Every structure is written in structure tokens, then in C-alpha cells.
Chains A and B, each alone.
Chain A
Amino acid sequence: EAQVTQNPRYLITVTGKKLTVTCSQNMNHEYMSWYRQDPGLGLRQIYYSMNVEVTDKGDVPEGYKVSRKEKRNFPLILESPSPNQTSLYFCASSLRGSEQFFGPGTRLTVL
């Protein structure tokens, strides 16, 4: 089954404790992206990747890092999480960047 998976689905952590949210897709898509969703603000793009070793900033990249060492994986790294990064995070993949398939989401709470 074609899908985008994210782990963990729920995470509660404390300020400053480094964390990684994994994202994996099995559709051989070149394009992958991370978004955060906050009430009333829709989906805001954090980072995207056009292919292996090619990443670029979205609209809200501050406080986040990504890497794309393999085509199928696109982890999101929070080196020093802060409470304002409490949000619902979605990973997405696409063959060409337009029609995106979204993962189920990761709900992150930073205390």
C-alpha cells in the first residue's frame, strides 16, 4: 500500500531536549516536505526536499533541521525544542511536487 508514515504519532517532551520525527514514503517520490498545522493558521511549510541531498527552506524553518540522505526518508530534527514549536506536524511526498500525499501527522507538545 502506497503511504507516508511518520513516527512517533504523539510526543510530549521538555524544552531543550533534542528530538527527531521520522518520515518515510514507499512511492519512490523525489519531493518531500514538512508542514506544521496550528489552529487558524492552516498548513505552513517548514522545509522541503527536491531530491536526495537537496533541501530548502519553506516559510517557517527557524528552529528546525532536516536531512535527505535517502530518497524514502526525510527526518525532521528539533535540536532544542521550545514551547512555540508545540504543533501538529505533517510530512508529505510527491512525484513532482504538486500533488502531495500526506502522512497521518505527529502531535508534538513541548513543555
Chain B
Amino acid sequence: GQQLNQSPQSMFIQEGEDVSMNCTSSSIFNTWLWYKQDPGEGPVLLIALYKAGELTSNGRLTAQFGITRKDSFLNISASIPSDVGIYFCAGRRDNTNAGKSTFGDGTTLTVKP
């Protein structure tokens, strides 16, 4: 099936540092989404991107939908301890109420106080 390559696999950073992670695919996606999973819980949507080139922010988080529609980036500025968790990218081929969802393998973020 479709595959999303998410990197890095894990990150260990100091509180206050900025974080960047990305997701690439060999296939084109029409929607890119970023989720965060806290330990012991289900993923929660952070940002949804629907248009190539779109740049969207949610507080300290900024995500971009790549121009080629084959990649997406998530940046976290001035990290804090509660940013700890697993971050997943997800792609969908269709914008309508149909179609499969493909997730990346996740980036595990550890923030040292």
C-alpha cells in the first residue's frame, strides 16, 4: 500500500529548542494531517492541510503542505515539557468522505527540562 516516510524516528531536545520533523511519500496526497499521541491515549489532531503550499499555524506549531503534494513538515517552536509524545503525519488521497488514511510511523519527542 501507500507509504509515508516520517523522520526523524525520535528526537531528544532541551526545553526551549525548536523542533522540525517531516513526512515524505512517493505518492501524491490531497490532504496532510498532523496528530499528537500522549502516552496511554489516542492521537489528537493538531493541524490539517488541504492545499499544496499551504502554511498553517496552531499556537507554537506550524505545518506546511509541500508544493509537490508529496511531503509535509511540522515545526514546533520553543518546546516545553508537555510537547513530549509521538507525532504522526497522515495523508489522504481524497478530500471527500471516502478513501483510506495512511499514517507515518511517528516521531517520538522527548523534551528535557
Contact = CB atoms under 8 A, between A and B. Distances in A.
Interface stretch (A13-21, A62-70, A72-80, A96-104): A96-104
A43 B103 contact: yes
A95 B98 CA distance: 11
A109 B6 CA distance: 28
Contacts of A103: 42
A96 B50 CA distance: 13
Contact of A96 (B1, B90, B97, B106): B97
Nearest to A31: B97
Given A97-B94, A98-B48, A102-B43, A42 B88 contact: yes
Interface in A33-91: 33, 35, 40-45, 48, 50-51, 58-59, 90
B92 A45 contact: no
Interface size range of chain B in the complex = 20 to 34
Given A98-B31, A99-B33, A45 B102 contact: yes
Contact of A59 (B1, B42, B104): B1
B88 A43 contact: yes
A90 B43 contact: yes
The secondary structure that dominates the B interface is loop
A54 B103 CA distance: 22
A35 B92 CA distance: 15
A33 B97 contact: no
Interface string B53-97: 000000000000000000000000000000000001010101111
Given A33-B101, A100-B33, 15 more contacts: A41-B105, A42-B6, A42-B88, A45-B102, A50-B98, A51-B97, A59-B1, A96-B95, A96-B96, A97-B92, A97-B101, A98-B31, A98-B48, A99-B45, A102-B35
User: What are the nearest 10 A-B pairs in CB distance?
Assistant: A102-B42, A42-B105, A43-B103, A59-B1, A42-B103, A97-B97, A96-B97, A98-B31, A102-B43, A99-B48
